Structure 1
Amino acid sequence: MLKRPKKDEYDPYFERYIELIPNKCLFDVLKKQQEVTINLLRGLSSEQEEYRYEAKKWSLKEVVGHMADVERVLNYHLLTVARGDTVSFTPFDKDLYMANADFSQRDFQDILSDFSIVRQCTSSLITNLPNDAWIRTGTVLNHPTTARALAYIIAGHELHHQRIIKERYLLKQ
């Protein structure tokens, strides 16, 4: 079982994601949460897919697209760190990504499928990393960050958005 990262293995900003992960096998958590997210979002109406809980907030389509984008970026960080590259990653501009993604023009089922494919890639990556890769360190947000922490951040980011989707998108309509 992959051990939970220590607080000095990541920037404090990411604590909000890591603290959401239950004390279970991370590989099982990633698989289960993908099922939960897909089941939560399956069969929604087009009105629900386009819903924004406030005028300037993202639509549900955009939230799911954002989840896939962030997981892709973090997968690249994870792969790079796990392979021993010491590159320093600067923050990416999530609003710039959103402005250039045009999720509103895409079919919601395609966005969900894309998210699922990205998670399959994540699962493949983390399942096949050698044990010594997990403690390798790179720099994310100007802070030493282990591959292990990045895997937890990926899982926590999805749980963060699952909660937002349940509380602000699906229960409010």
Structure 2
Amino acid sequence: MTISDLNSEDYNPFYKSYIDYNGDSTLLESLSNGLLQIDHLFLTLTESNLKVAYAPLKWTIAEVLIHLADTERIFQYRSLCFSRGDNTALPGFDENAYVPNSNATNRTLISIKEELIDLRKSTLSLFKSFSPEQLKAKGLASGSEMGVAASGFILSGHLTHHFNIIETRYLKK
């Protein structure tokens, strides 16, 4: 499945920029590429980088990375529910409320890297388990309809988006 297989009812327009990061890759290629992105980024990070924010009142790198972990879990759950035909409307989440309670400031570089790798491997396993019909399933999250495949592409693009921000604003590459 590629993004050309999605239609406008599969996701809220808010997520289009995340989906567009995937280009012509298949869903599983996009999700797998995230593992390479994680490895690549963590080659350039140090423990001291984790505490860096690029401006006052902005998240630190550690907080951005834990936000990615939180989002991965939430979108996994959404995908699981929708793929199983659960019609429960799922709530949104306020990432700005999650960050202060994330314990990001007490995390090590290796613990965050391992968590992100484990989560992405889990996401890959979940999406590999879906049938073509399950990938087309939809549900309601954050007040909008969302498709299972779209949620995977969103996760992939979300990681790329935040890694680009880390590299350009925090590490100034």
Show the 5 A alignment for 1:69-88. 69-88=70-89
C-alpha contact (below 8 Å) 1:11/1:141 kept by paired residues: no
**Which whole-Å CA distance do the structure 2 matches of 1:26 and 1:9 have between them?**
14
How far residue 43 of structure 1 moved from its aligned partner, in angstroms, is: 5.2
Give 1:113-124 correspondences, 5 Å limit.
113-124=114-125
1:64-118 CA-to-partner distances (Å, cap 9, x unmatched) read 1110110100000000001110111221011121111111011121011101100
| Paired letter, 2:143 | N
Structure 2 counterpart of 1:24? 25
Q: Which residue of 2 aligns with 1:46?
A: 47
Equivalent pairs: percent with the same residue? 27
Mapped partners of 1:64, 1:151: distance in 2:
18
| Secondary structure, aligned partner of 1:89 | coil
SS at match of 1:45: coil
Distance between the aligned counterparts of 1:34 and 1:168, measured in 2? Answer: 22
Provide the aligned length of Structure 1 versus Structure 2: 171
SS of alignment partner, residue 109 of structure 1: helix
Structure 1: unaligned runs, 5 residues or longer: none
Cα RMSD of the aligned pairs, angstroms, is: 1.3
2:120 partner amino acid: R
Match of 2:134 in 1: 133
SS of 1:156's equivalent in the other structure is: helix
Once the two structures are TM-superposed, the CA of residue 135 in structure 1 deviates from its matched residue by: 1.2
Q: Structure 2 length normalisation: TM-score?
A: 0.93
Question: What amino acid does structure 2 have at the position aligned with 1:87?
Answer: T
- 1:57 counterpart residue number: 58
